[in-house]
Structure 1
Amino acid sequence: MHSLGRAVYMSLAWVSFALGVVGVFVPLMPSTCFMLLAVWAASRGSPRFALWIREHPRFGPTVVAWEGERAIPRHAKWMAGFMLALSVVVLLVTLSLLWLKLLLVAGLALLGLWIVTRPEPGRVEPDSMARLVRR
């Protein structure tokens, strides 16, 4: 890979990682989606950084569960459901266009349904990290 491409991936990885860290502390800002983007970009720019994210005690288990099983932990499902419900309330109170309200509420409901139907992670096998690194 050219050094410019590697630099772009690394920049995206670090920005995404930083946004994910901010998301831990700032209500209404997600962290998991930014961590998934960070590990994806880091896998292309710095596999060592991607491995570090996967092994991180706070962010790693969720990332590994998604990469290995396309699974979402129960606590993350509850938090997503709460945030989606809060978003629906805010939309209903603040938007005046009925068609836009209905469209956005329907979209958020479908997103919530999709999240709820994802499996919950099983026990991670010891060699699963090695399989992820080889990708």
Structure 2
Amino acid sequence: MSKLQRTLYTSLAGVSFGLGIVGAFLPLMPTTVFMLLALWLASKGSPRFAGWIRRHPRFGPPIAAWENERAISRQAKCLAAAMLLLSMSVITFTLDSLLLRSLLIPFLALVGLWIVTRAEPRS
């Protein structure tokens, strides 16, 4: 892999990690998706950065649970479900397009169903 490719992967990993941090505070931004994407991108461009993400005190344990067990903590499930419900409410009351509402709300409900049916970490 060329230096340019590694730099691109690492840069995108940094952007994704930053978006994940933003997602920890904004209800419509998914933290976990961006953190997993950041980890994948970093593993391609900078194994040191990937290791740092895995060892991060806040984001490392949920990533390890997902990588090792495909598990999501009960707290994360509850938070995700609450944020998805909030998002569906916002969409219901603010989006004028019936077509978009009828596509987005069932999609978010299915995402929520998928999340809550994942296993919980054993440890």
TM-score (norm: length of structure 2): 0.91
Aligned pairs, number: 122
- Is 2:83 the counterpart of 1:83? yes
Whole-angstrom CA distance in 1 between matches of 2:22 and 2:111? 23
RMSD after superposition: 1.3
Superposed CA offset, 1:29-75 (max 9, x none): 33222111111111111111111110111110011111111111111
Whole-angstrom CA distance in 2 between matches of 1:12 and 1:94? 32
Name segments (4+ residues, structure 1) moved above 3 Å: none
The aligned amino acid for 1:110 is L
- Is 2:69 the counterpart of 1:66? no
- Is 2:26 the counterpart of 1:27? yes
Q: Sequence identity of aligned pairs in percent? A: 61
- Is 2:113 the counterpart of 1:113? yes
The aligned amino acid for 2:95 is L
Whole-angstrom CA distance in 2 between matches of 1:67 and 1:22? 22
- Is 2:122 the counterpart of 1:122? yes
Superposed CA offset, 1:85-129 (max 9, x none): 111111111223333322211111111110111111122xxxxxx
Whole-angstrom CA distance in 2 between matches of 1:43 and 1:60? 14
In the alignment, which residue of structure 1 is the partner of 2:54?
Answer: 54
Q: Which has the larger radius of gyration?
A: 1
The aligned amino acid for 1:83 is M
TM-score (norm: length of structure 1): 0.83
Q: 5 Å matches for 1:3-14?
A: 3-14=3-14
Whole-angstrom CA distance in 2 between matches of 1:46 and 1:39? 10
Q: Could you say if the C-alpha distance between residues 96 and 18 of structure 1 is closer, same or farther in structure 2, counting changes exceeding 3 Å?
A: closer
Q: Report the 3-state secondary structure (helix = DSSP H, G, I; strand = E; otherwise coil) of the residue aligned with 2:30.
A: coil
The aligned amino acid for 1:80 is A
